């Protein structure tokens, strides 16, 4: 573990946030994407980071709930 106490993934997230903030401050990037895009990006990131077995369980629960209706 690095001396700052962050894992490699956390450090990458911090670096990405700092880079984005710099681009916003210098005017290279719009401040916030539209709400729909933010939601989709958040959902995409959560899906990429979620363990496979959690996704399978969520899918099966969704399928069961849909079949009961």
Q: Could you state, in order of their start, the residue ranges of all structural domains in the chain?
A: 8-68
Assess contact for 9 and 16: CB atoms under 8 A: no
* High-pLDDT (> 90) share of the chain, %: 12
More confident residue, 54 or 4: 54
Question: What pLDDT band is residue 32 in, cutting at 50, 70 and 90?
Answer: low
Question: What's the CA dihedral at 53, 59, 63, 65 to 10 degrees?
Answer: 90
Tell me which of 67 and 35 has the higher pLDDT: 67
What is the reported pLDDT for 2? Answer: 57
pLDDT of residue 33: 64
Per-residue pLDDT for 61 more than 90? yes
């Amino acid at each position: 573990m690095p001396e700052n106490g962050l894992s490699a993934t956390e450090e990458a997230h911090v670096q990405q946030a700092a880079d984005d903030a710099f681009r916003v401050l210098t005017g290279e990037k719009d401040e916030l994407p539209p709400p729909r895009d933010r939601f989709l990006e958040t959902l995409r990131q959560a899906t990429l980071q979620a363990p496979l077995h959690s996704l399978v369980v969520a899918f099966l629960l969704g399928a069961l709930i849909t079949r009961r209706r």
